[in-house]
Chain A
Amino acid sequence: MELLRKYRYIIFPLSIEECDGSFQAFEIPIPANVRRIVTVMLTNNYSGANPWFGKLALQSQDENDLFLLTDLFRDDLAYPGKINMTGFPDGPGISGYRSKAFPVNISGDTALICGWVKVSDGVSCNLKIYLRYEQVEEPFGNETETESQKEEKP
């Protein structure tokens, strides 16, 4: 039976007030049915007119290695790891961070994605971090059982 692949999103807002140039830590709650993160996107709203840069790192709660460490908003458009706002010049068809690190499998015990972000000194902005994950289901709306649902059955 043909399976339909659908994308779902975790949207995590993150406000930064006059960054002092250091990393700010945050945690993103992960729903129980998330098994694989396929890409990361980021948007920001800020009032500054000057270009600014920063870094973003993400790590699964029960993993020791970072699965994402990238520069933000670099001017070099050829930089392969750049997370950009998309829309200009990238479009929605190719948005998101692309590298060999993705997709990232999430273990059954993971409830959080740990993250760190820093931007240029003095910058205030409102970021939104998007984690796009796959949901596989059979046609007619029958969702694939999660591992916890299978365990609950006698």
Chain B
Amino acid sequence: MILFYLFVTGIFAGSFGALLGLGGGFIIIPALTILFGMPIHTAIGISLVGVIATSTGAAIVYVRDSKADIRLGMLLELGTTVGAVLGAVIAGFISPRALYFLFAFMMGYNAYSMYKKKEEPSQKEKTAVEELPYDVKNIPAGISISGLAGIMSGLLGIGGGIIKIPAMYIIMGVPLKVATATSNFMVGVTAAASAFVYYFNGNIDPVYASPIALGIFVGVMAGTRANARISPNSLKKIFVVIFIYIAIQMMVKGFWG
């Protein structure tokens, strides 16, 4: 029965993750630790598999991925992958408690980030903006921040998209849709960098990871149709509330274990 619940968790993670350019780790890790009571290191290993599933799934399902700036993504990935390997190696030495607090902090930042996210432009504006060529600015800053995102990925099992998208959009001057699509590409590569370290350390439970990955593929495919019905602004509000709730729960876990 637990396998079915994991599958459903995957569906949620996949549909929202791919839509937002995130890896879904923010849904998977709280679900695994709070709802399923797994130790956080196990949850992280499984979540990394999930992030890769979201990234690859989005690539094969979403035609919009052609908007991804692969060159930019690849350049930033130099920073992220190094960070990810470092994070994955250090993670073994960090106490679960610290990870819970760190995750809670990231969730708080997530909520803030979502809250400040600009409203989706109208249809007419959308097409106009997408066609504009853009100049990428502040590359060294971008790479450093990507490095940080990578460390977070290795430590917490997230894709890092929540750091990368604002970095690309706000600091580097990349249009939001391109940033989102590029992030979809990047999170998979980042997670792969940490995933192998976790795998060879015996921290990926295949029995739990499989239903999640399968759910994610389904979620990514079904996600577009379902999400089109909900207005992006209500979605945003729902997520802010959910993220704050999760942040509090993870803090509680950090205190009480």
- Do A and B interact with each other, yes or no? no
Residues of A at under 8 Å CB distance from B? none
B residues adjacent to A (C-beta < 8 A): none
